[in-house]
Structure 1
């Protein structure tokens, strides 16, 4: 590609992005579990290496690492089931509270707009019928969705085991794609990708834990019902940047409204979530994950939306670590550095329109921008 005109190179890049999106969309059933298994396998590398240092056979070391993962997932499922069983036990009270809030809302609407209760009931019945028809169609495809979920869950441990078992073979495959004089760059990208992915994923696990603890126990002290359930739901949804936090707030409000006859708990929940989110965004998460690779807010939101459109919910969760890896690759590929700039958060203080130095791909300029934006270089490990 080096001898091609720049317009041809840019056209090939855009065509490549288009076909990559088509491949992900068409092959999401194959790519999503493989990509998920890849990230989890990297997360399990420290435990695998720990067991290997103890002279355990490779298959035993991988099996022990997978067993630890299964135990953690089993505990999470047990916690969720315990919280949801409490929610189901309170269903009669929830039904009573929901009807009370709906009646209050109906009276307020009638008072402010002269929209009678009878007309409101007619509208609710009409919308309920539409919702039931939609639910019927949704349940019609539930069997296929459930089957795909079982296939996904069944393939995941197999993929993780095989990725760890054949990691040396896969690494050799990657190196053989590039000429020998580029192998040092390939090694640098691979090492940094491993560090970034481990840092990011371990940081997310820690984030889920402390958000659940802080939010759940704060709401419990205030006296909010189902406090831990609100905490864990918000913590998991918060993994989806920006969009997840909004959905988590809505679910927290709905759970609180359905569990209480008063309105003050709703404001208590919203204020508590805002405080926990402020601590998470400004104090805790930056210290835990660090600032080795920063993805700007625009790239994060677009990445989450595109990931969701191409591969559903799993695509939304996988979008950020994938963008982080792509940024590492782009930053170290001369002809693709502009894409790394587009994803990154190394914002110049002054406009490139007035200061031509910011138009260049110079490594020195990039290092200065990283210093200005307090982005730490990734250390080799």
Structure 2
């Protein structure tokens, strides 16, 4: 059979990417819960096997896994709602502190410009009217968002149950998809994917816990009000690579402003967040998650924004593990290996323009680059 020209191959790849993106946008209400359920099922698999070894019926074992998951989610929801309730209880004091900050801001604007207090009030009134109009339009979308979230949470346990129940059937389907000569590579890719998902998601749970405890403890010692709420918000937003930490810093500053009439606590909060983030990025998280598959910063940022634009917040959270899985698949495919190179962090120290060896897709070249960048290659031993 005649091989397709390289231009046709690349055109088909780009067309395939476009079709996948279109499918994700159209069916994200079904696909995103399914993907989340798939990742959670991988993490819950050892728990399922634990109950099965103790002669629990298969349905009951899966039910116990879902029950444990619901207890964890319920605990997180209760903790977060209790912190929000404390914030609502302090609303009169918050309004007073906001007035103090607004008056200080107004005086500063008067000092540095000719913008009088009357003009400032007119400007605030105009912007408030625009904000109210925007809020009324936003409320209509909020109802749809809440209903989508309820559908998401309702489908999640159903998908988890079915994925665990039919896991052997799904594995058989995957093997039948490929020729028998490719089965060793398929098995290796699935084992590596399982390791990546487990290490990533369990690592995120550990990360949420220690960031909340560490940041909340530091802020409580300093005497920052609503310390635990700031810590919880930052811990969850920090799961979104690069973007989440910035939003977490801004929300931490806003919560501190509303809870104190002074500006000094803001410096304490920002310094505490910077310290915790330094420990998280450079010491704790690399040891917990490890370096099984490293995604370069460009691929991670583009993936997060692309996931957010295609599938919303859930797409941003799932972007990195999806990219990591795609890299595992691409690295084992002759046809798509160049995409694995694009996503990976195996950065050559020399330019392929001057070193012809680096233009090759040979596995020995890839292994050499992995050693240079201190990237561990997962395999059967890790599974």
Q: How far is 1:140 from its partner?
A: 1.7
Spell out the pairing of 1:7-156 with structure 2 (5 A cutoff). 7-156=7-156
CA displacement, residues 60-119 of structure 1 (integer Å, 9 cap, x when unaligned): 111111111111111111101110110001100000001110110011001101110111
Q: How far is 1:4 from its partner?
A: 1.0
Q: How far is 1:56 from its partner?
A: 1.2
Structure 2 residue aligned with 1:171: 171
Structure 2: gaps (5+ residues): none
Q: Secondary structure at the residue paired with 2:335?
A: helix
**What is the RMSD computed on CA atoms of the aligned residues?**
1.0
CA displacement, residues 112-132 of structure 1 (integer Å, 9 cap, x when unaligned): 011101111111111111111
CA displacement, residues 231-281 of structure 1 (integer Å, 9 cap, x when unaligned): 110010001010000000000000001000110000000011001101100
Structure 1: gaps (5+ residues): none
Spell out the pairing of 1:1-381 with structure 2 (5 A cutoff). 3-380=3-380, 381=383
Answer whether contact 2:191 2:379 (CA < 8 A) is retained.
no
Q: Secondary structure at the residue paired with 1:114?
A: coil
Question: In 2, Cα distance between the equivalents of 1:255 and 1:103?
Answer: 18
Question: In 2, Cα distance between the equivalents of 1:165 and 1:274?
Answer: 44
Question: In 2, Cα distance between the equivalents of 1:355 and 1:291?
Answer: 27
Q: Secondary structure at the residue paired with 1:232?
A: helix
Question: In 2, Cα distance between the equivalents of 1:143 and 1:326?
Answer: 34
Question: In 2, Cα distance between the equivalents of 1:266 and 1:143?
Answer: 34
Q: How far is 1:2 from its partner?
A: 8.2
Question: In 1, Cα distance between the equivalents of 2:2 and 2:240?
Answer: 38
Q: How far is 1:165 from its partner?
A: 0.3
Q: How far is 1:142 from its partner?
A: 2.4
Question: In 2, Cα distance between the equivalents of 1:171 and 1:260?
Answer: 56
Q: How far is 1:141 from its partner?
A: 2.5
Instruction: Classify 1:301/1:332 alpha carbon distance in 2 versus 1 (closer, same or farther; 3 Å).
Output: same
Q: What TM-score, normalized by structure 1, do the two folds share?
A: 0.99
Q: Secondary structure at the residue paired with 2:177?
A: coil
Question: In 2, Cα distance between the equivalents of 1:285 and 1:143?
Answer: 37
